[in-house]
Amino acid sequence: MANTNHDKIAKELAETFGTKYNKGKGPDIKTKNKVIEVVTHESDLYSSIKQIGRYQKPKYFAVPNKLVNKAKEITKGTGIGLITPTGIIKKKSRNKK
């Protein structure tokens, strides 16, 4: 199976945050202080909210720049923050417990 853009972004972010890319169920990246789900297609934004919604840590979507505005709209009120594929925060997470 070829490396997708999703895999590339997840691997780079995992390395940036000093952890491993989780290819299985659950968030793509889990650190001590946050969970990150990589979303590369607009159609995956809604299902990704459900995937990381139950975590108590600050939650982030890593989205390409072209999806930032749509992701901001969809995540409004969810507490999910947004970061770029290089780890730059575009919207801060609000930890909902």
The 10s digit of each residue's pLDDT in 41-86 is: 999 999 898 888 888 899 999 999 999 999 999 999 999 999 999 9
Better-predicted residue by pLDDT, 3 or 6: 6
The 10s digit of each residue's pLDDT in 17-33 is: 999 999 888 899 999 99
Per-residue pLDDT band for 2 (boundaries 50, 70, 90) equals: low
How far apart CA 8 and CA 66 sit, in angstroms, is 17
- Residues 6 or more apart whose CB falls under 8 angstroms from that of 37 comprise 27, 28, 29, 48, 51, 52, 59, 60, 61, 62
Distances, alpha carbon 15 to alpha carbons 22, 74, 94, 97, in Å: 12, 27, 24, 28
Domains of the chain (ranges; CATH) run 5-91 (3.40.50)
Predicted confidence at residue 53, as pLDDT, reads 81
Ramachandran region, residue 5 (left: φ > 0; alpha: ψ -120 to 50; beta: rest): alpha
Give residue 1's Cα distance to chain centre. Answer: 22
> Which tokens belong to 71?
């992701």
Q: Whole-number mean pLDDT of the chain?
A: 90
